[in-house]
Structure 1
């Protein structure tokens, strides 16, 4: 039996634990002469590795032009070709947008863009009557300018993805006006959350003393719990319309299934995802005894809005979208799942809850957050870290957070991301098995095929690319697992 040891988390012990890591960071990244260039080289190396994996997958997209024999019974050649072309376009777009992003980031580092923007933020705060002692105020101005720059430079890529790629393949349902309003709304909502949270976090770090990293971690934990609690009720409705699932057979079956596994379901919503995209999804949220399920209308095969009497009512344009901007929904194809298949999909989702996957992911996330803040407490005092990024005369806390979390931790973040991807795939297989044990194997089998078809998922993947990038197992692997158990 493994023994359990207590861990000393004092600042001194943390410094001892991380001394080797600090030496390595100093040797390769934090030298005064080449810190930022060294980080650029590391970033480019990781980008090239990712690009190499994407090249392998693009070869699959280009060379696999006929339906493999084992897929012949579940996918026709027309759908196979559509999904191949869609994924090829997405992969090419990802390559060019990623190349631009890496080039932009490298130039910002090499040309001193971060200290330049910090200086601009300082000039603006001085004009407003705040001196250099108001570091938090300057940090908020810097953060606003940085996010605005990111939004502006990312806008053309987002427009191309939405109105060229998604439009070309029949997924986009947005008008240009709707898209711009949505983008502005996202930006302002993000600022309303980001700026207060950041200011409080910086304040906690400054007054927290030797144990500030514990208080900072507890604060971010509280913020994440609050955001998870309020997101679906107060934030998501700002962007999409949520309505209660009408009374009927489907709602009764969902409630019965939830009751059978003691899932504390309180409400079932349908979100009008179809006004922006034809992609489909389902999820649940909430804490303790207040769980809610959300179904995308694109997931439901025969869904239409209902009024209180249960009669279908004509679709009305949203209040923020004029009738001239409303787009007709495509009628050339039928998509979504029937009721038994929807129940199978929800059986899979509820399996994540019953098997504790949500709690496990949260624990892993918070352990990682605590580790990162602990290491941040050790590294934030290293003056050479700031000098390497052009901050010779000051050590702003926000800049330290950005440098350490975004750049210094980047190799660790890549490794963690891969480990979480592996874990996610394991959880997906377990959730599939849970739905199977509920007697919904055949329904889940057909639902996975339908959803793959509706979303134009390509069922053939390079094993290296799949292993590194796919948080869900490829379709064939999931179908084989369901089929093998069924045969037993």
Structure 2
């Protein structure tokens, strides 16, 4: 009896420790967000040091936009925390596991089909998450983003896109999970090595095929037409030995007026992708009016520009400066370093998972007294038990990311792009309604990119990081 009471006590300690830490993290995040919201509310005039960077109208627009986003983040974050707490406190995880078991029983599949059972549970869990998150996503897109001129989607397009994303996610998630569970089952004492190698291969494959086969399911990619910009991009790539093979323009403007650029690919097969909203000469948002929509074109996918920030995007020299920054990440090895850090972390987590998976009290703490399903073990250990470690790691990676950003800016500066990158950062901040004033604690904890003013000061000075 004493031993049983001791075991129950350990289970309760684990359960309440997980809940307590979750709420500590939430309250810490809420405190930081409140500090930043105070900045949004009280900083109503352009600070003197920003007088040559932002006009009062843009400053006020960005202030109101970020204030709306912060307020939305508070309520959505509170809902998420309460929902997670109720799921744990009311036994939502074992309940959903039992529901999926009942579904399999009706199909004539018994307890020996644990992997199939796990996939049914995962499908129900992701469906639940998608449905409960849908109202928040709708509000964010059609109220906040719409109010501030960023949303370009129709309601029909939004729902088609959401359904497509869910289906594509399941087509990847379910087979990968099934293979991972199978490897863990047959891997013996060293299964954590095989599981880690499998996830490494999967991540590399997904990175390789994403832009060629997955992203085009959602957005239209077209080769950048021949001309001055393409020739200049290719020349800059050759100057730093970047093995560029193709340059694409993605039609990001059909869903949002936010802009971006990135590169992908391994070894000698690198591609650059530019959002049309980044390019001053290509962005439909710069047109005075849209062209007539062809009769045979779906009305839900036609473009509906309503952003009034003329001219949106960057000129060719500024685009080259932005790409100089992005290629700096490659030349300085930031991409490889991030992959190495990610895989070292993944290996460590799988090793610790192998150590902890046999602890039945971990399962009992979350309502699994009779069975210890591998998928549930992965969820408990990776999501709950590792949560303190994940918070520390996230903070360290955020600091490292800021250092990498300064280094990439310095690389572009050494290419002779300092003046153009300076101008591009100001334009992109304006186009995306970024607020240039931040609370130091909020910035330190959350900003993976340095605040605008710090980057501009580094470009003008000799700061090296």
C-alpha displacement at 1:36, in angstroms?
A: 2.1
C-alpha distance in 1, partners of 2:330/2:140?
34
Q: Any conservation in 1 of the 2:154–2:300 contact (CA below 8 Å)?
A: no
Deviations 1:234-278 (A, max 9, x none): 000000000000000000000000000000000000000000000
- Corresponding residue of 1:251: 230
C-alpha displacement at 1:32, in angstroms?
A: 2.0
Note closer, same or farther for the CA distance 1:315–1:434 as it changes in structure 2 (3 Å cut): farther
**Among 216, 223, 232, the residue aligned to 2:202:** 223
Note closer, same or farther for the CA distance 1:324–1:156 as it changes in structure 2 (3 Å cut): closer
- Corresponding residue of 1:413: 390
**Among 344, 359, 364, the residue aligned to 1:387:** 364
- Corresponding residue of 2:302: 326
C-alpha distance in 1, partners of 2:330/2:311?
31
C-alpha distance in 2, partners of 1:175/1:325?
8
- Corresponding residue of 1:17: none
**Among 342, 346, 357, the residue aligned to 2:323:** 346
Deviations 1:347-380 (A, max 9, x none): 0000000000000000000000000000000000
Note closer, same or farther for the CA distance 1:289–1:46 as it changes in structure 2 (3 Å cut): same
C-alpha displacement at 1:323, in angstroms?
A: 2.7
C-alpha displacement at 1:327, in angstroms?
A: 4.4
Secondary structure in structure 2 of the residue aligned to 1:73: coil
Note closer, same or farther for the CA distance 1:28–1:272 as it changes in structure 2 (3 Å cut): farther
Residue pairs, 1:199-218, within 5 angstroms: 199-218=178-197
Matched, 1:50 2:26: no
- Corresponding residue of 1:481: 458
- Corresponding residue of 1:162: 141
Q: Any conservation in 1 of the 2:283–2:312 contact (CA below 8 Å)?
A: no
**Among 148, 155, 176, the residue aligned to 1:197:** 176
Note closer, same or farther for the CA distance 1:399–1:73 as it changes in structure 2 (3 Å cut): same
Note closer, same or farther for the CA distance 1:51–1:29 as it changes in structure 2 (3 Å cut): farther
C-alpha distance in 1, partners of 2:295/2:447?
35
C-alpha distance in 2, partners of 1:340/1:30?
65
- Corresponding residue of 1:424: 401
C-alpha distance in 2, partners of 1:318/1:28?
69
Note closer, same or farther for the CA distance 1:144–1:64 as it changes in structure 2 (3 Å cut): same
**Among 92, 104, 119, the residue aligned to 2:71:** 92
C-alpha distance in 2, partners of 1:180/1:328?
17
**Among 278, 282, 298, the residue aligned to 2:277:** 298
Residue pairs, 1:25-174, within 5 angstroms: 31-174=10-153
Q: Any conservation in 1 of the 2:37–2:67 contact (CA below 8 Å)?
A: yes
Matched, 1:455 2:435: no
Secondary structure in structure 1 of the residue aligned to 2:247: strand
How many residue pairs match? The answer is 452
Q: Any conservation in 2 of the 1:344–1:435 contact (CA below 8 Å)?
A: yes
C-alpha displacement at 1:214, in angstroms?
A: 0.1
C-alpha distance in 2, partners of 1:457/1:275?
21
Matched, 1:268 2:244: no
Note closer, same or farther for the CA distance 1:93–1:243 as it changes in structure 2 (3 Å cut): same
Matched, 1:377 2:354: yes
C-alpha displacement at 1:28, in angstroms?
A: 13
C-alpha distance in 2, partners of 1:331/1:469?
28
C-alpha distance in 2, partners of 1:67/1:396?
57
Matched, 1:396 2:342: no
Q: Any conservation in 1 of the 2:253–2:303 contact (CA below 8 Å)?
A: no
**Among 204, 211, 219, the residue aligned to 1:240:** 219
C-alpha displacement at 1:328, in angstroms?
A: 2.6
C-alpha displacement at 1:35, in angstroms?
A: 2.7
C-alpha displacement at 1:398, in angstroms?
A: 0.1
Q: Any conservation in 2 of the 1:272–1:296 contact (CA below 8 Å)?
A: yes
Secondary structure in structure 1 of the residue aligned to 2:182: helix
Note closer, same or farther for the CA distance 1:47–1:331 as it changes in structure 2 (3 Å cut): closer
Q: Any conservation in 1 of the 2:149–2:307 contact (CA below 8 Å)?
A: no
- What is the aligned-residue RMSD (CA, Å)? 1.9
Note closer, same or farther for the CA distance 1:209–1:356 as it changes in structure 2 (3 Å cut): same
C-alpha distance in 2, partners of 1:55/1:449?
26
Alignment gaps of 5+ in structure 1: 1-26, 306-312
- Corresponding residue of 2:162: 183
C-alpha displacement at 1:316, in angstroms?
A: 6.0
C-alpha distance in 2, partners of 1:352/1:33?
46
C-alpha distance in 1, partners of 2:266/2:439?
38
C-alpha distance in 1, partners of 2:7/2:345?
23
